[in-house]
Amino acid sequence: LTPALSGAARESGLRDGDFDGDGRRDTIWLAAEDGGRIAVHVRLDTVGGGRDVRVTSLAAEANAPLDIEVVAAGAWAGDCGDYAEGCQAHIATGHDSLMLGMGEGKRVLIHWQDDHFEQDFVRGGDSLSALAGLLARNP
């Protein structure tokens, strides 16, 4: 279950986009977690109200901004490094997605697939891209 986003753990909306392709604007939220990690949530604007989905968790470095951006629909080249399982060489998205910069040119694309979010490593740096993405996934 997605933890509630309430009280001091909830920050103001960062960015928005239509992440699930339903024509409504959805919002990204961050929530502090135990161990100094930051949870990335998307609040989907649905017909029946809102639905909060925790999409990933990132290690938070003191005073370092998180590299999260909304990217438009498009085609991406997958990064199928040694540590990637079930990697797709080509990823096509039909609506907005999230791109997480992992440093050193490493990037993870978080996109809506049918009824849930998928994470795929995309080209943007050299070798350890897949390993960096694995470390960013939920523990």
**Tokens linked to 137:** 């996934």
0.75 exceeded by pTM: no
Query: What does the alpha-carbon distance between residue 82 and residue 111 come to, in Å, rounded to a whole number?
Result: 22
Element (H, E) at 52: strand 49-59
pLDDT digits (tens, 9 = 90+) for 99-115: 888 767 778 899 999 89
pLDDT digits (tens, 9 = 90+) for 81-101: 655 566 677 888 999 999 888
